[in-house]
């Protein structure tokens, strides 16, 4: 029997607000991408071109995130019993892979130009990069107002954060070229951007994979859960305990709980379930818990299967 304390409505409302934020960020990102592409052509700057290219991947990522968020609102079906929430995680996974690809490109192009630096026009480079810096700062403010904890939105936030940092480095590189005439500052900025993006991409990839592999939510100790449930009146054993994440901010748990005959006869299954669900919700913050309450005699008829 499952138990949900009405969090689904708040979850859906939060996702709707996130989609509004993503639409704003998409408009800003697409505009700045065009501006920086023009700037890269005018100034001949790899750092500015890399930032514009990253903006292009960001725009695609936000489109993907928006599409995934809309798909995730589709109702559950006979086969898709949990709905389409995992599409958001798949989108985050794709975004992480795109970030990794951007890192590889920036590293390759940066090394090539570091060995043979072309002439870069510092004035236009700084001016166009400053526009990107301002726009990325606005996008970050919009995204950081969300409190849903969505991994999908986090993917978009990471890419905008990388863009913001890229714009800062591009401005600094342009100023260095203008003041000291050091042309290698441009490809060097590209290499630094790649180095700073890489750990964020790996972290996002790890978190998305953990959800898809149905690893227990971070910070949840299943031994503690089993111990706490086992302390409830009449509980003899907790077994076949599983916990996983459906999508960011939406965790689930299931368990078989053996309860003595006296407690079942006195309190009934409903009261036992209420106590079990109160523990998982209040003590561990599990959004959805499903329990199979069993009398001791059921154990000999239960086949838990072998580990695969």
Closest CA to 243 of 197, 200, 285: 285
305 vs 233: which has the higher pLDDT: 233
Average pLDDT over residues 206-224: 88
Nearest 5°: phi and psi at 268? 85, 160
- Any idea what the CATH number is for the domain that residue 239 is in? 3.30.70.1350
Which of these ranges, 98-112, 213-227, 266-280, has the smallest mean pLDDT?
98-112
Integer angstrom CA distances of residue 72 from 85, 94, 137, 155:
4, 16, 28, 16
Of 183, 212, 241, the last residue of a domain is 212
282 has a pLDDT exceeding 50: yes
Do both 51 and 92 map to the same domain? yes
Tell me how many domains the chain contains.
Answer: 2
Do both 48 and 174 map to the same domain? yes
224 vs 3: which has the higher pLDDT: 224
| pLDDT-based confidence at residue 175 (cuts at 50, 70, 90) | very high
CB atoms within 10 A of CB 304: 9
Average pLDDT over residues 161-175: 84
Helices (H) and strands (E) in the chain, counts: 8, 4
Query: What percent of the chain has a predicted confidence (pLDDT) above 90?
Result: 21
Of 176, 193, 212, the last residue of a domain is 212
Average pLDDT over residues 156-165: 75
CA distance 108 to 121: 22
Which of these ranges, 142-156, 183-197, 206-220, has the smallest mean pLDDT?
142-156
The one-character DSSP state at 182 is -
CB atoms within 10 A of CB 145: 10
Do both 199 and 227 map to the same domain? no
152 has a pLDDT exceeding 70: no
Q: 59-103 pLDDT, tens per residue?
A: 766 776 676 666 666 776 677 666 677 777 887 788 788 888 888
- Residue 190: domain span: 2-212
Residue 308 lies in a domain: no
Do both 169 and 234 map to the same domain? no
Do both 226 and 125 map to the same domain? no
Q: 286-308 pLDDT, tens per residue?
A: 878 999 999 998 766 665 555 43
223 vs 36: which has the higher pLDDT: 223
Sheet order of strands, 250-259 included: 2-4, 288-294, 250-259, 235-247
Which pLDDT value is given to residue 273? 94
Q: What angle do CA 126, 58, 75 make, to 5 degrees?
A: 155
Which pLDDT value is given to residue 285? 87
Do both 58 and 183 map to the same domain? yes
Which of these ranges, 84-98, 182-196, 215-229, has the smallest mean pLDDT?
84-98
């Amino acid at each position: 029997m499952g138990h949900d304390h009405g969090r689904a409505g708040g979850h859906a409302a939060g996702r709707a607000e996130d989609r509004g934020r993503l639409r704003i960020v998409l408009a800003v990102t697409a505009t700045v991408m065009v501006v920086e592409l023009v700037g890269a052509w005018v100034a001949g700057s790899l750092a500015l071109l890399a930032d514009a290219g990253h903006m292009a991947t960001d725009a695609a990522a936000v489109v993907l995130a928006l599409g995934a968020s809309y798909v995730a609102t589709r109702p559950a079906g006979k086969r898709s019993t949990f709905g389409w929430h995992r599409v958001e995680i798949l989108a985050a996974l794709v975004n992480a892979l795109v970030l990794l690809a951007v890192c590889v490109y920036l590293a390759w192009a940066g090394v090539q130009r570091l060995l043979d630096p072309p002439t870069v026009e510092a004035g236009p480079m700084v001016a166009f990069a400053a526009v990107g810096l301002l726009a990325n700062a606005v996008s970050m403010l919009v995204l950081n107002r969300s409190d849903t904890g969505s991994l999908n939105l986090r993917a978009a936030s990471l890419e905008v954060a990388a863009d913001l940092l890229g714009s800062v480095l591009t401005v600094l590189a342009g100023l260095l070229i203008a003041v000291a005439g050091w042309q290698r500052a441009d490809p060097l900025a590209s290499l630094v951007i790649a180095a700073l993006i890489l750990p964020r991409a790996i972290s996002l990839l790890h978190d998305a994979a953990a959800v898809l592999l149905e690893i227990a939510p971070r910070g949840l100790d299943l031994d503690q859960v089993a111990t706490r449930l086992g302390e409830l009146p009449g509980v003899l054993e907790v077994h076949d305990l599983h916990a996983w994440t459906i999508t960011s901010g939406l965790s689930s748990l299931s368990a078989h709980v053996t309860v003595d005959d006296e407690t079942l006869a006195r309190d009934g299954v409903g009261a036992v379930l209420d106590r079990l669900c109160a523990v998982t919700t209040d003590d561990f913050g599990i959004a959805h818990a499903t329990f199979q309450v069993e009398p001791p005699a059921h154990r000999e008829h239960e086949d838990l299967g072998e580990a695969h």
